[in-house]
Structure 1
Amino acid sequence: MRDPRAVALRDWYDRHARDLPWRVPPGSADRPDPYRIWLSEVMLQQTTVAAVKGYFARFTAAWPDVGALAAAADANVMAAWAGLGYYARARNLLACARVVAGEMDGHFPQTEAELRALPGIGPYTSAAIAAIAFDQPAVVVDGNVERVISRLAAIETPLPASKPEIRAEAAAMTPEERPGDHAQAMMDLGATICTPRNPACVICPLAVHCAARAKGTATSLPRKAPKAARPERRGYVYLARRGDEWLTEMRPERGLLGGMRAFPTSDWSETPAPAPPFAAEWKPVGEVRHGFTHFRLTLQVLTTGAAGNPDRGTFGPLDPASLPTLFAKAHALLT
């Protein structure tokens, strides 16, 4: 028997689905492009739809299919990704594209298990691609779905301990028919109606099925365990300019902001040691702060007009848009 909640949700989605550049509208005879679904899902990890749209448009214009992306130069892809954050995703994106293009004749596998074996594709992303691109009855649970299910079932256990219960509830609701549309409907509902604050319960298609609404606890769910305070680290970043050229270097492939073009820095720690790339009179011009997943960073920004002979990096033209956000912030202090 079909879950009446899934039926109500699908009917709502057929009328109110968001128009997204990677999405095939409900009722369309076209099938979603697995490449575009995969690219959008990787970009959307820990990032908003609003932030992703421009990047998605630029990527698909430059690299319209997985073969084109696989053939792209690493530096070009990393530069195009700059500002989107979580740069390991871009490195995994290239690795995955090259496996699909080189070993799978450009065709993405259709099952969760096969998708999960590809670089950068975890349990959520594999389920989303399987459901949306290939209409597999996969259970897709992102942050929006966690919120919707927590409220529908009035799950009081705080996240992340409630994840198994949420997944079980989501699985019970996932239909065999049109599972891709169901997955996207759940995401749309969480993004537009069952929002973190002030959910629009009066127009929600699942209001009559929602246990939290009946109890008056919807706005308090999902509960979350208290987060530990992130440690603070400090460091120095060095901006040397020679006419229209700037001193930059490629960060190591492994580690934070790996493979990205950046200004030279010291180590990042509680007590960093200065590490200028060459001897000169370095003038402090301010500080920039940036939050990473596991710590917060404050960099003192120093600059010089001396050319010097750097022991790392090279002078050259610079497009600030190609820099990670942290270094774009430092550059902005001088412009």
Structure 2
Amino acid sequence: MSQPVKHDFATRLLAWFDRHGRHDLPWQHPRDAYRVWLSEVMLQQTQVSTVIPYFQRFVGALPTLRDLAAAEEDTVLALWSGLGYYRRARFLHRAAQLCVEQHGGELPREFEALAALPGIGRSTAGAILAQAHGLRLPILDGNVKRVLTRHLGIHGHPGQSAIEKELWRHADAYTPTARVADYTQAIMDLGATVCVRSKPKCAECPVAADCVAQRDGLTAQLPSAKPGKTVPTRSTVMLLLRDTGKRVLLERRGPQGVWAGLWSLPEATGTEDAWRKAQQLARIDDAQALVPFVHVFSHYRLQVEPLLFDGATAHRAIADNPALRWCDPGDLAALGLPAPVRTLLLSL
């Protein structure tokens, strides 16, 4: 029996997709540009199972691009809260506003104009145009990189410029001229469900017959890992100032850094600094140390020590500071809060 050749990669993949692919994802019905765009941004560094309820909630509240453009930033961040990487939500919001200002309230169908919008790079633009409009454009998200590096036996970290350039060339060569929307979904599905990071299901793969990694026993080595780097740990004390009405004092974070622009808890560098800052914000009596926890970011670990000041009385100056607000427990759902802060507040 002759071995399949690489030029029928798409044919084999599409035949597998027809039988085993995902056809009932919420952004596929209808598969318009706004819904595809929203799903693609949410799926960056996030799994489908996690994204689905966020997507449904988001489009339930903001069903069109114009609704997103007109929404308050706090509304957008509240709907995004828990997905992480909040910069994605801000880019999404700003891109929608630019579409209203410059493109008649629609995502542009021209690749260059679409890719120029905030948060939409080459792969996301390709995915939107391929899936919503059937245009022949390649994509290269994490799943596709994994499939191609294994299938072609490409060594080197996919994030390196030379490797990524090579992968783009192959991604374009493998993209068919027909059924582009299905092919785009199919190769993402293959990476997400079969050619997974750990213990890929090679026996179920439609293109395993000429996969270099499967042939040479390299599935555990490919894609090549990013050169190792020690992940640092940082520490902070979070101040939970709660008044007699159970309202909690929140502070909006600055425009830069982690959780930029989100409502969070005032922070201090240590216990002594925490008391000093708490006294600047309110009249306090005593403090209770709550259970510390660690929140892991992509580039560091944050060791959090929560300190509860119950029965605090606000200083009048707080009312004049737009970056500070007392928040009732029932109002938390409407605010953009970092997921660990929301969890901490709900635990009270």
Contact 1:288-1:330 within 8 A present in 2 as well: no
| Distance change (3 Å), C-alpha of 1:130 and 1:267 | farther
1:326 corresponds to which letter in structure 2?
P
User: 3-state SS of the aligned residue for 1:223?
Assistant: coil
- Give the aligned partner of residue 240 of structure 2: 239
- Give the aligned partner of residue 324 of structure 1: 338
- Give the aligned partner of residue 12 of structure 1: 16
Identity %, equivalent residues: 37
What TM-score comes out, normalization by structure 1 length? 0.90
The Cα of 1:330 is off from its aligned counterpart by 3.0
User: 3-state SS of the aligned residue for 2:267?
Assistant: coil
The Cα of 1:67 is off from its aligned counterpart by 0.8
- Give the aligned partner of residue 209 of structure 2: 208
1:325 corresponds to which letter in structure 2?
A
The Cα of 1:165 is off from its aligned counterpart by 2.3
User: 3-state SS of the aligned residue for 1:199?
Assistant: coil
What TM-score comes out, normalization by structure 2 length? 0.86
Contact 2:91-2:118 within 8 A present in 1 as well: yes
User: 3-state SS of the aligned residue for 1:75?
Assistant: helix
1:239 corresponds to which letter in structure 2?
L
2:341 corresponds to which letter in structure 1?
F
The Cα of 1:272 is off from its aligned counterpart by 9.8
**Are 1:260 and 2:259 counterparts?**
no
The Cα of 1:326 is off from its aligned counterpart by 2.5
Question: Can you give the 5+ residue segments of structure 2 that lack an aligned partner in the other structure?
Answer: none
* CA deviation profile, 1:35-68 (whole Å, cap 9, x unmatched): 0001111111111111111111011111111111
The Cα of 1:329 is off from its aligned counterpart by 3.9
- Give the aligned partner of residue 224 of structure 2: 223
- Give the aligned partner of residue 299 of structure 1: 304
Superposition CA RMSD, Å: 2.3
- Give the aligned partner of residue 248 of structure 1: 250
CA distance in 1, matches of 2:226, 2:258: 27
User: 3-state SS of the aligned residue for 1:239?
Assistant: strand
Question: Can you give the 5+ residue segments of structure 1 that lack an aligned partner in the other structure?
Answer: 25-30
| Distance change (3 Å), C-alpha of 1:225 and 1:252 | closer
Contact 1:234-1:272 within 8 A present in 2 as well: no
Contact 1:5-1:209 within 8 A present in 2 as well: no
CA distance in 1, matches of 2:269, 2:105: 41
User: 3-state SS of the aligned residue for 1:218?
Assistant: coil
| Distance change (3 Å), C-alpha of 1:255 and 1:287 | same
CA distance in 2, matches of 1:42, 1:158: 23
- Give the aligned partner of residue 53 of structure 1: 52
2:150 corresponds to which letter in structure 1?
R
CA distance in 1, matches of 2:89, 2:255: 11
Contact 2:6-2:210 within 8 A present in 1 as well: no
- Give the aligned partner of residue 169 of structure 1: 170
- Give the aligned partner of residue 28 of structure 1: none
Contact 1:235-1:272 within 8 A present in 2 as well: no
2:256 corresponds to which letter in structure 1?
R
| Distance change (3 Å), C-alpha of 1:272 and 1:176 | farther
Which has a greater percent of helix? 2
| Distance change (3 Å), C-alpha of 1:206 and 1:2 | closer
- Give the aligned partner of residue 27 of structure 1: none
CA distance in 1, matches of 2:65, 2:199: 40
1:244 corresponds to which letter in structure 2?
K
**Runs of at least 4 residues of structure 1 off by over 4 A?**
319-322
1:15 corresponds to which letter in structure 2?
R
1:314 to 298, 319, 325: 325
